[in-house]
A = this chain, B = another copy of it.
Amino acid sequence: MSLNVTVIGLGSMGYGMALSCLRAGYRVLGQDVAPERAAQFVSDGGVAEPMDNPDAVVVVVLNAQQTESVLFGADGAVPHLRKGTVVISCATVPPDFAREMEQRCAEHGVYYLDAPISGGSVKAAAGKLSVMASGNAEAFSAAEPILDATAETVFRLGDAAGAGSAMKAVNQLLAGVHIAAMAEAMTFGMTQGITPQRFLDVISKCAGTSWMLENRAPHIVAGDYTPHSQVNIWPKDLGIVLDTAEATGFDAPITQAALGQYRKAVEIGLGHEDDAAVAKVYAHASGLDLPGEDA
């Protein structure tokens, strides 16, 4: 099938998804606020000229504000789309925002798939993301070739926008808490003479392990904070969780505590480091030397 696809947002996730669409044989226009990324994508095979009638618009920007802007802002895409086009919205956003976008797209005859993604940049480049998707049957049907090209697992979570973003928020609650809890446990262990390497060796085989522990603790052991996923993600995503929770009077004290640690990490200048750097908040507070810091 020949398909015209616009991908808005060529960060590590969006770039990988755009490449996956190219590999599937689609014509793909990549757009980004950074002109050098858009130019790079053209050199990788993306189309160079504007695309009049895309079949699908994949939005892989940072947050709700950027999503609203690229869809309905001054140069927003949606008013120019023909009826039946699908917007596949991949940013982590509040469920209510997803419902609002679905409705505003519908006013233009455009379908909206609430489709937050997870898996990281490596899986994005390999076309093996997980997608937590919800939307009406027409949105799923129109999005199917894009999902086939970019995702290994598509969770179909309901026939209206909001459910996908709600599940993403649930996942982010746990992922964010688990990274910070790993940092808390590892540095607590250091106060008792347990090295980060020993912590990883033992706890990854015990009931205290988590997906995030096994993924992030090696970064601390290696002293490598190359940002696969930045600290800055977590004040945003846990903020969405807590705003959404607050709207229904739900109290989430563990999420609150984890958010507090990420905010401290941002305050001491770690926002652009890998999120495992939240361990430095604990280490600095207790005078511990993490690997790579005691040289």
Contact = CB atoms under 8 A, between A and B. Distances in A.
Interface string A167-209: 1011111110110111011111101111000110011011111
Given A177-B181, A241-B188, A202 B167 contact: yes
Contacts of A248: 191, 286
Interface residues of A, number: 68
Given A167-B194, A185-B170, A245-B188, A254 B261 contact: yes
Contacts of A130: 205-206
Contacts of A172: 208
Given A130-B205, A208-B172, A248-B191, A157 B254 contact: no
Contact of A173 (B163, B184, B257): B184
Contacts of A255: 181, 184
- The A interface is mostly helix, strand or loop, or mixed, namely helix
A100 to B, nearest CB: 15
A97 to B, nearest CB: 13
A192 B170 contact: yes
A5 interface: no
Given A174-B181, A203-B171, A194 B166 contact: yes
Contacts of A260: 253
A52 interface: no
Given A95-B192, A158-B193, A174-B213, 10 more contacts: A132-B202, A162-B193, A163-B193, A166-B189, A167-B194, A170-B208, A173-B188, A181-B254, A250-B285, A256-B257
